[in-house]
Amino acid sequence: MDERDAILEVLGDRAVLATAMLCDAVRLDFGQFLGTAVEGRLRSRPNFLARMPRAALIELRERLQRELNHLIAASERPVHELRARLLEEPVSRDEETALLADALGTLLVERTRELLVEHRFPGDDVPDLPDKPMAPLRPEFHLGYAPSTVVLWAWRQVRALDQATRQLESSEGRPLATFEIRYYLPEALPTDRLK
């Protein structure tokens, strides 16, 4: 293995760790989103909570975990596709954040809404009345996802390593002294290039 291949292998290892960090951050974000959507509504609706049978609460808890696992698995493809797209068509940081929010949030919001409807949560505009046991047939829920700062930080680590990999693969001869290579892979540069 020549020096270039060895450097690419190190970079690949770092990319695997960064991707795992991003997955962990997304899991926490999704768990928080689902948990807040359910717990916040139950806390604000004590009469609705009092009408929920124990079996329904058990099913809800189990469903939250299943949904979280499903959502994490389902988020991998859109994130991978976004990474590939951004390597070909770079955009501003704000646009990138919006694209990430869309890639992660579309399915998350849709599945959260479905969960609330299936468990017969009243709509956000419905008061919690003790004598109103039936939820509306088409409840409205105000749901919107924005990636947390932890997800954005992990995403930017992954993106920087994507860029460093591309820069290293496309450089002729000695690696370019780009920020990504200098910061994320100083091993790729001779000592005099780090001064």
Per-residue pLDDT of the chain (195 residues; tens, 9 = 90+): 566 677 778 888 899 999 999 999 999 999 999 999 999 999 999 999 999 999 999 999 999 999 999 999 999 999 999 999 999 999 999 999 999 999 999 999 999 999 999 998 999 988 888 887 666 678 999 999 999 999 999 999 999 999 888 888 777 666 567 888 888 878 777 665 444
| 182 token code pair | 């200098």
| 84 token code pair | 């590939």
Nearest to 140, CA basis, from 123, 117, 153, 154: 123
Q: What is the pTM of this model?
A: 0.86
Residues 6+ apart with CB under 8 A from 126: 132, 135, 136, 139
DSSP helix/strand/coil, 146:
coil
| 50 token code pair | 């009092």
| 97 token code pair | 């954040």
**Whole-number pLDDT of residue 195:** 45
DSSP 8-state symbol, 132: -
> Where are the domains positioned within the chain?
3-194
Contact in structure between 148 and 25 (CB atoms under 8 Å): yes
